[in-house]
Amino acid sequence: MNAQQFQALCIKPDSTLRDALARLDATARGILMVVGEDGALLRTLTDGDLRRARLQQMDDQQSVDQLPAQAPITVNESEPAPAVLALMDEHQIDHVPVLDGAGRPVDIVFRRELTQRVWLSSPHLGEEETAFVEEAFRTNWIAPLGPHVDAFERELAAHVGVAHGAALSSGTAAIHLGLLLLGVQPGDTVFCSSLTFVGSCNPILYCGARPVFIDSEPQSWNMSPAALERALEWALRENRLPRCIVLVNLYGQSADMDALVPICERYGVPILEDAAESLGASYKGRASGAFGRLAVYSFNGNKIITTSGGGMLVSDDGDLVARARKLSTQAREPARHYEHVEVGFNYRMSNVLAGIGRGQLRVLEQRVHQRRAVFERYQQAFADFPQLQWMPEPAGMRSTRWLSCFTLSGPDAGRQCEFIMTFLERHSVEARPVWKPMHLQPLFSGAPYFSHQAGDDVSARLFAAGICLPSGSNLSQEQQERVMALLRRALTLSETPHATA
C-alpha cells in the first residue's frame, strides 16, 4: 500500500455514512480509520459497522461520529508481526491500525500479509530433484556415499571449471577441512574477510588458529586489496605470515581477483575461496570459486541452490580433494579392518541429498537469471531515490545477486535503516542488515583488523547503513510489488526526522 492508498483509508468524523460506504467500496480493504482534527484515531469503521447502522434505521446523511462508540483495537509501532497476528486472532479481526506515540494512525496491518510471509531467500526446488531422490530410494542408496555423490561432485566441478570436488555436509565443514588441508595448526594466523557470515571464520577457531580480519573495499564490498597489502606487511614484520587467506565472495559477487591474487602470490600465501554465496557468479568470464587453491560452496537452504544442507570443496589439486574425502569419512586407512592414524570427521554428504543437489544444479543458471531479474526490478523501481545505493557490480564481474542489497547515504542512515526494517517486519517481510563484520563481533574481540584506509572502516559503514531485501528466485512479481510498495512508504516515512518505528 502506498501513501495515497493509506490516506484514502482515513476519513473525518463529520463524513456521512453514505460517503463512508462509498469510500469503503472504493478502497476495498474492509476498514476505514476515522481521524480527528488533531490527527488522532477516533475509531475504525468496517462493513459490519455500516451494516448494523442500516439495520438500526440510521439515516445515510448522518455523520459517522453518530455511530455507537467503540474503542479501536490498535498496536504501537514497535509491535512485531506475531504479536499483531495474535491480537487479530484474539479479537477475530483482519486489520489493525498502527498508532504513533500521539495516537495518530501511521500504518495499518492486514491479516493477509501476516499469513503470507515474504522470506529473504527461500529454497526453490526444480522438477528433477524428486526423480533423483526416488532413484536413491529405489536403489537403496540411502547410506552416505553412493552414485549421486560421485555424480554431483563431477557435475558441479565441471560446471565451475575446476577439476575435482568433494561433497560435504556443509559449507562450514568444507572450510574446516580446507583449512586443515592447507596446513593450519593451533597458534597459526589465518586472514579472513571481515564482512561475512560467521561460517567463514568459525572453522579458524576449530583449528585453534588466530584470525586477522581484513576490511572491504567500496567498489565490490569484498576484500580490500589495500587493506590486505597492509596486513601482509604487518604480518611479515611480526613474523606471523598467515597460513592461508579465507577470501569471501559476498552476496553473489566475486572479489577483485586481479588485484588480490597477485598480492597473495607475492607473499606465498594460498587462498581458500569462500564462494558459499557466489555459486553461479563469474569474474572476467571465470567461475567464482575457480581462483583459490581450494574453494568452498554451500547448499544451505537459503543459498542459490540447496540440498537442504550441504557443501562442496573444490580444487584443481586432485590429491587435496582426495584427502578431503578421506578426512570427511573418519580418516579411515585402506585396510579390511578399521585402521586410523589421524583425526577424521563425519563430514560427508549423503547420497539422498546429493540427488537433490544434482537436480538443483540443472536449474542453477535459471536461478541466477531469476535473482538478477529481482534485483533489476528493485533497481528500476527506486531509481528516483538517489540516497539509496545498490551494491555495485564492477565491470567484468557478473554477480548472481544472491541477495539484493543497498545502503542509504546521509548522516541519519542508520536510524532510517532501523525504521525501514521494523516497518517491513511489521508487515511480515523479512529484510536483514548487511552482515555484521567479524571484527565487531564479541566472539572475535581482540583479533587484529585492517581497515580499507586509515580512518575508513568500510565494512562497518556497510553494516551501519545497509539492508538486504527479499531476493529469492521464487519471489513472485506480486510479492515483490508488495515489498516495493512497503519499502517506498517506509523510505518516505523514515525521512521525517526522529521517526522511530
Ligand X SMILES: *Cc1c(COP(=O)(O)O)cnc(C)c1O
For the chain, how many residues are written? 501
16/122 with CB nearer ligand X: 122
| Number of C-beta neighbours around residue 132 at 10 A | 21
Helix, strand and coil in the chain, % to nearest 5: 40, 20, 40
171/242 with CB nearer ligand X: 171
Q: Find the shortest distance in angstroms from Cβ 361 to ligand X.
A: 16
Q: Where are the beta strands (DSSP E) in 119-262?
A: 164-168, 189-193, 210-214, 244-248
Q: Find the shortest distance in angstroms from Cβ 290 to ligand X.
A: 17
119/385 with CB nearer ligand X: 119
105/357 with CB nearer ligand X: 357
Instruction: Look at strands 388-390 and 311-315 and give their pairing.
Output: unpaired
Q: Find the shortest distance in angstroms from Cβ 264 to ligand X.
A: 18
- 348 pairs with which residues across the strands? 168
| Closest C-alpha to 41, from 12, 82, 79 | 12
Residue 390's SS3 state is strand
d(CA 263, CA 230): 10
Q: Find the shortest distance in angstroms from Cβ 408 to ligand X.
A: 23
242/311 with CB nearer ligand X: 311
347/423 with CB nearer ligand X: 347
CB neighbour list of residue 437: distance below 8 Å, 6 or more residues apart: 194, 195, 196, 213, 215, 459, 460, 463
Q: Find the shortest distance in angstroms from Cβ 312 to ligand X.
A: 10
d(CA 477, CA 110): 19
- Residues 35, 11 contacting (CB under 8 angstroms): yes
Q: Find the shortest distance in angstroms from Cβ 311 to ligand X.
A: 5
d(CA 306, CA 353): 9
81/248 with CB nearer ligand X: 248
Distances from the Cα of 332 to the Cα of 313, 354, 372, angstroms: 19, 22, 44
Residue, CB closest to ligand X: 171
Q: For 30, which DSSP code?
A: S
146/171 with CB nearer ligand X: 171
44/307 with CB nearer ligand X: 307
15/200 with CB nearer ligand X: 200
Task: Please name the residue ranges forming H helices in 211-317.
Answer: 225-237, 257-266
108/458 with CB nearer ligand X: 458
Q: Which residues bind ligand X (CB under 6 A)?
A: 170-172, 196-197, 199-200, 248, 274, 276-277, 298, 300, 311
402/423 with CB nearer ligand X: 402
Q: Find the shortest distance in angstroms from Cβ 281 to ligand X.
A: 13
Task: Tell me which residue has cell 515489498.
Answer: 483
Which amino acid makes up residue 442?
P
170/315 with CB nearer ligand X: 170
Q: Find the shortest distance in angstroms from Cβ 272 to ligand X.
A: 11
Q: Find the shortest distance in angstroms from Cβ 197 to ligand X.
A: 4
Q: Find the shortest distance in angstroms from Cβ 244 to ligand X.
A: 15
| Number of C-beta neighbours around residue 122 at 10 A | 17
d(CA 292, CA 315): 8
Rg (CA), the chain: 27
Q: Find the shortest distance in angstroms from Cβ 221 to ligand X.
A: 12
**Residue 82 Rama label (left phi>0; alpha psi -120 to 50; beta):** alpha
Residue 353's SS3 state is helix
Measured at the CA of 399, the angle between CA 278 and CA 227, to 5 degrees, comes to: 75
**Residue 413 Rama label (left phi>0; alpha psi -120 to 50; beta):** alpha
Instruction: Look at strands 95-99 and 75-76 and give their pairing.
Output: parallel
Q: Find the shortest distance in angstroms from Cβ 340 to ligand X.
A: 25
Q: Find the shortest distance in angstroms from Cβ 170 to ligand X.
A: 3
d(CA 376, CA 101): 37
